[in-house]
Chain A
Amino acid sequence: MSEKAVSVQNVNYRYPFQNKQCLEGINLDIIVGERFGLFGPNGAGKTTLLSLMTGLFKLQTGSISLMEHPVGNRKEINALFGYVPQEFSFYEELTATENLDFFGTLSGLRGQQLTSRITELMEILGLISSRKKRVQQFSGGMKRRVNLAIGVIHNPKILFLDEPTVGVDIQTRHQIIEFLKNLNNEGTTLVYTSHLLREAEELCNKVALIDEGKIIEHQTIEELLVSHNEVGLEGLFLKLTGKTYRDN
């Protein structure tokens, strides 16, 4: 039986002071080595589920574990995964090197190991020539790469990515996708959310579709397209979730 990177069992979630259930009866297994995509319309519950998986939100019911460790045990699970939020979650007043140095140290890296990892990531992500510039002088694409580099500095076993390519040009998007594929080839499980379904087709090998707090599909992309007789994720997405606004 394949090892589970993420296991979600019977998870329900309701935001305080809201009547509507945000997540309802979620059961989901993500296998080690998968490139997993979580998709759904705005307000479907993707970010909430991601926040529960990363321990940012407290579980109300059910259980979630990462590599067999319950997410409640922050000390153990935080070393296992990396998180790349949609926002530029770093310090724009610092240089890229200073940011990576800070977050790398907090992740437990030290000395030569940290320096080498920073140089390696800078080179791979094309930031080496700008390493001494403050991040506030960077373009949107460069900031995205810094955001990504911080998430992977400690070589996590699982990487959670929330819209990692939003607002970047096609070259940067291509580079980021390639980087993520390489990372996956080296053993990192990817858990990815995005609205860019063509990108998802390129990156993911398994997807789950979430709508109104429930998982309505969970298969490989090929299986999904064949079972619904569709040629692309975009058409399938509209077919399953409808064409009306969903976040009113």
Chain B
Amino acid sequence: MVKLWASIRKDLLILTRDKLGLTLMFGMPIVLVLVITSIQNSTFELVNENRFTFLIVNHDNGELSDKLRESIKAMGSFRIIETYDETESGGILSLMDKNDAILALVIPETFTADLEKKSLKVTERVMFDFGVSDVPPSHVSDTVNSLKLYYTPVLQESFRHSFQSAVLSALQLVENRHTLETIYQKISNKDLPEELENQLLHNKTNIEEIPASKDGANVVLNATQHNVPAWTIFAMFFIVISLGSGIVREKVSGSFIRLKTMPTSILVSILSKQITYLFVSIAQVIVIFSIGMYLFPVVGLPKLELPNDLVGLLIVSLICGLCALSYALCVGVFSKTQEQANGFGAVSIFILAAIGGLLVPSFAMPESFRIFMILSPLYWCLESFHDLFLEGGKLANMMPNLFPLIIITLFLQVLAFFGLKKKNLI
């Protein structure tokens, strides 16, 4: 026990004097979690605070294009700028550029007339089908000239689809409303009463969003709840730089050989490293989670809400930490130089993070990648943390994720042991 404590003390001293290692283990993840959460949060705010400029180039003089503009405006996601002539200032692209708009909708001059014709034809058809009129629908064309939606090429596909859906939804509303008005007018020779219009068009069935949490709690899903656990896992696995290169340093310097000639087991030294770095992992969890809880609200980011099952959180953190240090141990044992350990360690963690769902959500991963995904220990760590933070899971719910993580950890430990044995270090 005294020898183990002496070894832990030695490892802690070396660790606290390794400024670069500490920066990589604590500084870098803190910066990452702050930057990425801020970016994701600002994207959310961008959509919700009218920060997208939407240019509407209206060539139509009718009332329906005005109604379309009002419908888009009513969505509340855009700052609308309207103009009537795209040619006067050198085309649509230059107009978008001038107005700093990411989207531009060009409404053709026949828009109102086309929609009126379409509505009339639908009305005639309805009246004929219901026997209200004996006159069959006319053969007038009901094609509406296309609206053109320009978007800046840097706009991400997900945003583009959302905006296109929003415009289609507004267009649908204008079309439906006008058709309804026409039908009402034809049947009753009166304008559609405001009360009925509101009842039909604005009294929408509400959709209540409920997170499918396991403990029934109404967990707030935001960028913080997603990012803080994810980047904490990343930080834990990034100990590969400090631990992996530390092991290589001891191998190369001959310290391991010297320890082998001492009246003690070298496993004491390996165990002390594991205890020291497990302590580091838990310290990373405490530091990064504290930043999520106390610093984030100060800088305007959503506060991190800890899960109800704190014992579960501790157990998951310990198992993730153990897996991370087992991986680092393996990298250290099998690398011949510090450069190898650092290079392979850093790149492999980025790859494992990418296929493990830290960079792209696992549900969005292509089917062919799923086999690699389940091989990444970071995936199982992330799933376990998501169980706690997003789904309100308890320890029992997490077992399907923790079990593979324990298997991977044991595999890495055994691999490291045989590596040390093969290299005649134990």
Q: Give the B-binding residues of A (Cβ under 8 A).
A: 54-58, 75, 78-79, 81-83, 85-94, 98, 101-103, 105-108, 110, 134, 150, 154
Q: Which of B3, B6, B10, B257 is within 8 Å of A56, CB to CB?
A: B257
Contact B254 A85 (CB under 8 A): yes
Closest to A79 in B: B263
Contact B13 A98 (CB under 8 A): yes
By a CB distance below 8 angstroms, the chain B residues around A154 are 263
Contact A107 B262 (CB under 8 A): yes
Q: Does any Cβ of A come within 8 Å of B14's Cβ?
A: yes
Contact B258 A102 (CB under 8 A): no
Contact A78 B262 (CB under 8 A): yes
Docked CA distance A81–B268 (Å): 20
Docked CA distance A107–B264 (Å): 7
Docked CA distance A97–B18 (Å): 19
By a CB distance below 8 angstroms, the chain A residues around B261 are 54-56, 78, 81-83
Q: Which of A83, A88, A98 is within 8 Å of B253, CB to CB?
A: A88
Contact A106 B263 (CB under 8 A): yes
Docked CA distance A103–B258 (Å): 9
By a CB distance below 8 angstroms, the chain B residues around A110 are 2
Contact B253 A89 (CB under 8 A): yes
Contact B262 A103 (CB under 8 A): yes
By a CB distance below 8 angstroms, the chain A residues around B9 are 102
Docked CA distance A57–B9 (Å): 29
Contact B263 A107 (CB under 8 A): yes
Chain B interface residue count, CB cutoff 8 Å, equals: 23
Closest to B260 in A: A56
Docked CA distance A98–B17 (Å): 13
Contact A78 B263 (CB under 8 A): yes
Docked CA distance A108–B262 (Å): 9
Docked CA distance A106–B2 (Å): 8
Contact A83 B258 (CB under 8 A): yes
Docked CA distance A150–B262 (Å): 10
Q: Does any Cβ of A come within 8 Å of B259's Cβ?
A: yes
Q: Does any Cβ of A come within 8 Å of B7's Cβ?
A: yes
Docked CA distance A189–B17 (Å): 38
Q: Does any Cβ of A come within 8 Å of B203's Cβ?
A: no
Docked CA distance A97–B324 (Å): 32
Docked CA distance A184–B262 (Å): 21
Q: Which residues B229-255 have CB closer than 8 A to chain A?
A: 253-255
5 interchain residue pairs of minimum CB distance: A89-B254, A87-B254, A105-B6, A89-B258, A78-B263
Docked CA distance A92–B2 (Å): 22
A75-B263, A78-B261 are known contacts. Are A105 and B253 too (CB-CB below 8 A)? no
Docked CA distance A81–B260 (Å): 12
| Interface 0/1 of B1-28, CB less than 8 Å to A | 0110011011001100110000000000
By a CB distance below 8 angstroms, the chain A residues around B254 are 85-89
Docked CA distance A98–B260 (Å): 19
A78-B261, A78-B263, A98-B13 are known contacts. Are A57 and B255 too (CB-CB below 8 A)? no
By a CB distance below 8 angstroms, the chain A residues around B3 are 105-106
Docked CA distance A88–B263 (Å): 19
Closest to A99 in B: B10
By a CB distance below 8 angstroms, the chain B residues around A101 are 6
Docked CA distance A106–B255 (Å): 13
Q: Which of B6, B14, B17 is within 8 Å of A106, CB to CB?
A: B6
Given contacts A54-B261, A89-B257, 14 further A-B contacts (CB under 8 A): A75-B263, A79-B263, A83-B261, A85-B257, A87-B254, A88-B254, A91-B255, A93-B14, A93-B18, A105-B6, A106-B6, A106-B268, A110-B2, A154-B263
Docked CA distance A57–B259 (Å): 14
Docked CA distance A203–B58 (Å): 101
Q: Does any Cβ of A come within 8 Å of B189's Cβ?
A: no
Closest to A136 in B: B17
| Interface 0/1 of B308-349, CB less than 8 Å to A | 000000000000000000000000000000000000000000
Closest to A54 in B: B261
By a CB distance below 8 angstroms, the chain A residues around B264 are 78, 106-107
By a CB distance below 8 angstroms, the chain A residues around B13 are 93-94, 98
Q: Could you give 18 example pairs across A and B, Cβ below 8 Å?
A: A57-B424, A78-B262, A81-B261, A83-B258, A85-B258, A87-B254, A89-B253, A91-B10, A92-B253, A93-B14, A94-B13, A98-B10, A101-B6, A105-B6, A106-B259, A106-B262, A106-B263, A106-B264
